[in-house]
Structure 1
Amino acid sequence: MYQHKWVSGEAIPLPVGKAVCIGRNYVAHAQELNNPIPESPLLFIKPSSAFCDFSPVFMINEQLGEHHYEAELVLLVGETITAQTEKPLSSISGVGVGLDLTLRHLQTQLKAQGHPWERAKAFDGSACLSAFIATEGLELSHALEFKFWQNDQLRQHGETDMMIFKLGHLLKEIAQYFTLQPGDIVMTGTPQGVGKLSIGDTLALQLGDCEKVQSQVQSRPQQF
Structure 2
Amino acid sequence: MSVNNVRNIYCVGWNYRLHAQELGNTVPESPIIFTKPTHALVEMTGQEIPFPADQGSLHYEAELVLVIGKAYRPGIRVDELVDRMALGLDMTLRDKQNEVKKQGRPWLSCKGFLRSALITKTLPFPGIDNLGKTEFVLQKNNQEVQRGNASLMVFAPQTLVDYIGSRYGLDAGDLIFTGTPVGVGPVNHGDHLALYWGEKQLGECTVQLG
- Pick the TM interval, shorter chain: over 0.9
Moved more, 175-184 or 35-44: 175-184
**RMSD over aligned Cα atoms:** 1.7
Distance verdict in 2 for CA 1:15–1:198, change over 3 Å: same
Q: Cα deviation per residue 1:170-200 (whole Å; 9 max; x = unaligned)?
A: 1111112111121110000000100111110
Query: Whole-Å Cα distance in 1 between the matches of residues 61 and 187 of structure 2?
Result: 10
SS class of match (1:204):
strand
Shift of 1:71: 0.3
What corresponds to 1:19 in structure 2? Answer: 9
What corresponds to 1:180 in structure 2? Answer: 170
1:143-158 equivalences in 2 (<5 Å): 143=132, 144-158=134-148
- TM-score, length-normalised on structure 1? 0.87
Query: Whole-Å Cα distance in 2 between the matches of residues 196 and 126 of structure 1?
Result: 14
Query: Whole-Å Cα distance in 2 between the matches of residues 79 and 180 of structure 1?
Result: 8
Shift of 1:114: 1.0
What corresponds to 2:114 in structure 1? Answer: 124
1:85-124 equivalences in 2 (<5 Å): 85-124=75-114
Query: Whole-Å Cα distance in 2 between the matches of residues 96 and 212 of structure 1?
Result: 8
- Deviating above 6 A after TM superposition, structure 1's stretches of 4 or more consecutive aligned residues are none
- Say whether 1:70 aligns with 2:61: yes
Q: Cα deviation per residue 1:40-73 (whole Å; 9 max; x = unaligned)?
A: 1110011111101222122212133321000000
SS class of match (1:64):
coil
SS class of match (1:56):
coil
Query: Whole-Å Cα distance in 2 between the matches of residues 89 and 131 of structure 1?
Result: 20
Query: Whole-Å Cα distance in 1 between the matches of residues 79 and 52 of structure 2?
Result: 35
Query: Whole-Å Cα distance in 1 between the matches of residues 114 and 75 of structure 2?
Result: 31
Contact 1:89 1:167 in 2 (8 A): no
Q: Which runs of 5+ in 1 are unaligned?
A: 5-13
Query: Whole-Å Cα distance in 1 between the matches of residues 190 and 119 of structure 2?
Result: 19
- Say whether 1:38 aligns with 2:28: yes
* Identity between Structure 1 and Structure 2 (%): 35
What corresponds to 2:2 in structure 1? Answer: 3
- TM-score, length-normalised on structure 2? 0.92
SS class of match (1:218):
strand
Contact 1:141 1:167 in 2 (8 A): no
Query: Whole-Å Cα distance in 2 between the matches of residues 90 and 145 of structure 1?
Result: 22
Q: Which runs of 5+ in 2 are unaligned?
A: none
Q: Larger % of helix: which?
A: 2
Query: Whole-Å Cα distance in 1 between the matches of residues 179 and 89 of structure 2?
Result: 10
Match of 2:197 among 207, 213, 218: 207
Match of 2:46 among 43, 52, 56: 56
Aligned length: 207
Q: Cα deviation per residue 1:106-151 (whole Å; 9 max; x = unaligned)?
A: 110100011111110111111000010122xx22233142000111
